[in-house]
Amino acid sequence: MVASVFLLGLLVLALAWPLVSSQGDVHSEAQFAAPSAGHWFGTDVHGRDLFGRVLAGARISLIVGLVGALVSLVIGVLWGATAGLLGGRWDNLMMRTVDVLYSLPSIIFVIVIITTLEGVLQGWLQSAFGGGSGETARMLLLYAGLGAVSWLTMARIVRGQVLALRERQFVEAARSLGLGTWAILWRHILPNVVGVVIVYLTLTLPAVVLYES
């Protein structure tokens, strides 16, 4: 509970403070000022407020962490639930794919995604929306890349839960009533794995922030 309140407070502070603070203003006469009521962390070589700059950097890290964790959530839940529900050769193929991806160095994989697709995405964004789109393309690819390397454990956890749930009586009852595989997945199985998914999502967020740094 304390950690949740701290994280929520940090998120609100990081999002709101740069909007009301002038951390980017240069004041050459206030170089390396000591911490004070006006500058809680002091100032840097250009006289800029260090506290505001730290929160501005935290805003980027938190946004990247949240979006990357949500991307990994979507991919991992869909992949793991599908593998666990289908079973058989499909389950074996999908989980061997996860094992192969586990063997790849994550950071290098993210770098390859960004460097390979940046030009393509930047050109598409420029033709669709015009103007400078280089930074937007890099951020979108960073979100996608971090999410693409963070979903593997989520998929394994969800698969294990689905394998246990698909043999339960309420699933057998749904089958006997004529519900299809995907209807059972969405109506009965996924709602029962939400608790485990939320718990692991809280562990994915700091991992994605660490990757981003």
Scanning 87-193, the segments in alpha helix (DSSP H) are 88-102, 106-129, 134-150, 152-165, 169-176, 181-184
Quick check: helix, strand or coil at residue 5?
A: helix
pLDDT of 65 reads: 83
Domain ranges of the chain: 2-212
pTM of the model: 0.76
Kindly report which listed range (3-12, 29-38, 53-62) carries the lowest average pLDDT score.
Answer: 29-38
| Other Cβ atoms closer than 10 A to 50 | 17
Q: Which two tokens stand for residue 121?
A: 């995405």
Q: Give domain 2-212's CATH architecture.
A: Orthogonal Bundle (1.10)
pLDDT of 76 reads: 92
Confidence band, pLDDT 50/70/90 cuts, at residue 146: confident
Separation CA 77–CA 151 (nearest Å) = 8
Give the bridge partners for 49, in sequence order.
Answer: 43
Give the bridge partners for 43, in sequence order.
Answer: 49
Question: Measuring CA to CA, which residue among 110, 119, 111 is closest to residue 137?
Answer: 119
Once rounded to an integer, what is the mean pLDDT over residues 86-102? 90
Is pLDDT above 90 for 45?
Answer: no
Confidence band, pLDDT 50/70/90 cuts, at residue 51: confident
pLDDT of 94 reads: 93
Of residues 84 and 114, more confidently modeled: 84
pLDDT of 112 reads: 82
pLDDT of 75 reads: 92
pLDDT of 23 reads: 56
Cβ neighbours of residue 187 under 8 Å, at least 6 residues apart? Answer: 174, 179
Confidence band, pLDDT 50/70/90 cuts, at residue 90: very high
Q: Which two tokens stand for residue 189?
A: 């199985």
Contact between 208 and 68 (Cβ < 8 Å): yes
Is pLDDT above 70 for 25?
Answer: no
